[in-house]
Amino acid sequence: MQKAIRDEGLDGWLFCNFHHRDALSDAILGLSADSTNSRIWVCAVSASEEPLKIVHAIEASILDTIPGRAIVYQSRVEFIAALRGLAGARWGAHISDTLPAISLLDAGLAHTFEAAGLGLCSAAGLVQRFKGLLDTEGIASHERAAQHLYDMVALAWERVRDAHTLHQPLCEGDIRGLFLDEMHRRGLISDHSPIVGAGVNSGNPHYDFSGAGATFVEGDVIQFDLWAKEAAPAAIYADISWVGIFAREVPPRVEQVFTDLVSAREGAYRFIAERRALSGADVDRKMRELLINMGYASALRHRTGHGIDTEVHGSGVNMDSVEFPDSRPLLEGSCFSLEPGLYFAEFGLRTEIDVYIENGKPVVSGKDRQFNILTC
């Protein structure tokens, strides 16, 4: 944590919580979300000295698992007096103009800190460095998960192809059930069921259903989106999307859209490989530019990638220049998806690969990425 602070050029990292509103602070400090947190606590981790903990008298032990000196307060006057000991330094805090996943410090507390003399700036870079970069073991965990997902896509499409060939009824729920069974068999876990969307449902990026879902119909575009990790505390997610057609041949329009989509994805990958000091916003901007120049401006609905770590939407850099612009750089150990999507009234297509930075170069995890639509 102190290395991350020094690398970001800050004096310290400021954590605080009240009624567990800031789950990120709890997670980073390893605190239980079940503990009683009815009073504000503060944990100030400096770049080189021991942490300072400010805790209320009736919850004085709430930060006992954290090393450092503790100041116990009872009144607001005592709380502000303790804060003044941190004045004059630049503290990374969980605030951000553009990244709501990190902006968890409420305005009232931020004002209190600043009135006490603390200089606040965004801890977005600290969160990325501490939580969003993979080491060698993290990369290995991510690669194992990716390999499982690619194998599962192959199994699922074999099931789809058999149903088409034998004229057997098949629905979205059948394939989602196959994915869930395979995840259980392989010891994988996920925060949500995978997406299986047929026909018009493929055009909904966050499509979900109950029961059996829609039945596959001749000519349907089929969208798979699945993510999972090993069942271990430090395991890293993999997250991929593949596209198929419930037919023997791909309609020309679908083929053209998919070809253009892959071209933009690969163009973004080359952009990363050929340049240094890129931000997530830079990569997203490049991918959008490629797709817009092909005439797809109205078919774009979301960012073109996100950070991946122990969470599928992780703490690292996102490929985003429009929704939640992310100016953080792609650093050694960054892991992220490249997933451009194009959506129309009749269907949608999204192709997703995962990339991590190793020895300064982008590496695609798992097997070869998708370059052709799966057919029956």
Of 260, 261, 282, nearest to 271 by C-alpha is: 282
- Angle between helix 172-185 and 136-166 (nearest 10): 140
For residues 53 and 290, what is the distance between their CA atoms, to the nearest angstrom?
50
Q: Which residues of the chain have pLDDT under 70?
A: none
Strand order in the sheet with 335-338: 335-338, 353-358, 361-364
Structure tokens at 238: 């993999």
pLDDT digits (tens, 9 = 90+) for 228-272: 999 998 999 999 999 999 999 999 999 999 999 999 999 999 999
Q: What confidence score (pLDDT) does residue 122 get?
A: 98
Domains of the chain in sequence order = 2-130 (3.40.350.10), 132-364 (3.90.230.10)
Residue-wise burial string across 90-100, b where 16 or more C-beta atoms lie within 10 A, e elsewhere: ebbbbbbebbe
pLDDT digits (tens, 9 = 90+) for 299-358: 999 999 999 999 999 999 999 999 999 999 999 999 999 999 999 999 999 999 999 999
Q: What confidence score (pLDDT) does residue 226 get?
A: 98
Rounded-to-10 torsion of CA 281, 285, 288, 289: 180
Q: What confidence score (pLDDT) does residue 367 get?
A: 80
